[in-house]
Amino acid sequence: MNLLIVDDELSMRELLELVFTEEGYTVATAESIGQAVHVLAGQPVHLVISDMRLTDGNGLELLQHIRERYPETLFVLITAFASADSAIDALKFGAYDYITKPFDIDDLKKIVQNALRQPAAQKTPFGTSPAGGPEAPAIIGVSPQMIKIYKTIGVIAPTDSTILLTGESGTGKEMIARAIHEASPRQHGPFVSINCGAFPETLLESELFGYQKGAFTGAVANKRGLFEVAHRGTLFLDEIAETTPAMQVKLLRTLQEKRIRRLGGTEEIPVDARIVAATNKNLEERIRDGLFREDLYYRIAVIPIHLPPLRDRREDIPALANYFLKRFNLKMGKNIRGISPPALERLILAEWKGNVRELENVIERAVALETSDRVEADRLPHFAASSAPPPGTMPTEITDSGFDLEPYLEDVEKRIILMALQKADGVQVEAARLLGITYRSFRHRVQKLGIEK
- Average pLDDT, stretch 364-381? 90
Please give the Cα distance from 31 to 10 (Å, whole number). 8
* Inside any domain, residue 397: no
Q: Which of 49, 275, 252 is nearest to 161 (CA)?
A: 275
* Inside any domain, residue 362: yes
- Kindly tell me if the per-residue pLDDT of 127 is higher than 80: no
138 vs 351 pLDDT, higher one? 351
Choose the final residue of a domain: 308, 338, 359: 308
* Inside any domain, residue 395: no
Read off the pLDDT band of 393 (50, 70, 90): low
Looking at the structure of the chain, the number of domains it has is 4
391 vs 81 pLDDT, higher one? 81
387 CB-near residues (< 8 Å, 6+ apart): 351
59 with 187, same domain: the answer is no
270-292 pLDDT tens trace: 999 999 999 999 999 999 999 99
- Kindly tell me if the per-residue pLDDT of 33 is higher than 70: yes
> Using an 8 Å Cβ cutoff, are 153 and 179 in contact?
yes
Choose the final residue of a domain: 384, 413, 430: 384
> Using an 8 Å Cβ cutoff, are 111 and 75 in contact?
no
432 with 337, same domain: the answer is no
- Kindly tell me if the per-residue pLDDT of 396 is higher than 70: no
> Using an 8 Å Cβ cutoff, are 323 and 139 in contact?
no
- Average pLDDT, stretch 327-354? 89
246 with 346, same domain: the answer is no
224 vs 87 pLDDT, higher one? 224
30 with 102, same domain: the answer is yes
Strands (E), 280-389: 303-306, 338-339, 374-375
295 with 169, same domain: the answer is yes
178 with 134, same domain: the answer is no
46 CB-near residues (< 8 Å, 6+ apart): 1, 2, 3, 73, 74, 116
* Inside any domain, residue 285: yes
42-62 pLDDT tens trace: 999 999 999 998 989 899 999
Read off the pLDDT band of 383 (50, 70, 90): low
- Average pLDDT, stretch 225-232? 95
Q: What is the CATH number of the domain that holds 428?
A: 1.10.10.60
Say how many CA atoms lie within 13 Å of 440 toward its Cβ: 0
296 with 174, same domain: the answer is yes
Q: Which residues pair with 74 in a beta bridge?
A: 47
* Inside any domain, residue 122: yes
124 with 184, same domain: the answer is no
- Average pLDDT, stretch 8-29? 93
303 with 215, same domain: the answer is yes
9 with 116, same domain: the answer is yes
Domain enclosing residue 195, as ranges = 159-308
Q: What is the CATH number of the domain that holds 245?
A: 3.40.50.300
How much of the chain exceeds pLDDT 70, in percent?
89
Instruction: Please provide residue 41's backbone torsions phi and psi, each rounded to the nearest 5 degrees.
Output: -75, -25
- Kindly tell me if the per-residue pLDDT of 138 is higher than 70: no
405-443 pLDDT tens trace: 777 777 778 888 888 887 777 788 888 888 888 888 888
300 with 332, same domain: the answer is no
* Inside any domain, residue 154: no
Read off the pLDDT band of 128 (50, 70, 90): very low
* Inside any domain, residue 266: yes
* Inside any domain, residue 295: yes
Choose the final residue of a domain: 308, 335, 360: 308
- Kindly tell me if the per-residue pLDDT of 38 is higher than 80: yes
**Would you state the pLDDT for residue 397?**
64
**Would you state the pLDDT for residue 389?**
47
Q: What is the CATH number of the domain that holds 369?
A: 1.10.8.60
37 with 168, same domain: the answer is no
Q: What is the CATH number of the domain that holds 50?
A: 3.40.50.2300
**Would you state the pLDDT for residue 170?**
93
Please tell me whether the overall predicted TM-score, pTM, comes out greater than 0.85 for this model.
no
